[in-house]
Amino acid sequence: MLDNLKALGAITALMKNKEKLAESAQRVRAELERTRVTGEAGGGVVRAIASGDLRIISIEISPALGAGIGATDADRAMASALIVEAVNDALARSRAKAQEAVRREAEALGLPDLSGELGVSLGGLLR
């Protein structure tokens, strides 16, 4: 409980310095825009590349799979499912990178990890 009060005190102090908070948020955004993660499905047959700010950059389909797309409804359904799986994998990895960037920035600002007990998302505060 005392740790939670300390955390709230740290946030209150930080909120008084909005310029520092804005600079911190900008550093996190810039880092996330530059970050690239790759998710894959089907043993690498389909790959999705996402940025750290949760945007899909590209979808890559192996030529072996591409040759069969459109041949049957089953082929299209399989390709669609693999693409969805790859995109979701890339976004999950991207979210993990975003959480880590926010955690590091909060630590640099003297804030504890608030994502657990308080249920506060620093990512939401920094947007």
- pLDDT tens per residue across span 31-68: 999 999 999 998 988 889 999 888 888 888 887 765 65
Give me the pLDDT at residue 116, please.
47
Greater pLDDT, 35 or 6:
35
pTM: 0.55
Task: With cut-offs at 50, 70 and 90, classify the pLDDT of residue 69.
Answer: low
Assign domain 2-126 one CATH number from 3.30.1360.30, 3.30.1310.10, 3.40.50.1820, 3.50.50.60. 3.30.1310.10
Burial 46-81 (b: 16+ CB within 10 A, else e): bbbbbbbbeeeeeeebeeebeeeeeeeeeeeebbee
Q: Which residues contact 75 (CB under 8 A, 6 or more apart)?
A: 68, 69
- Position 2 scores a pLDDT of 67
DSSP lists the bridge partners of residue 56 as 50
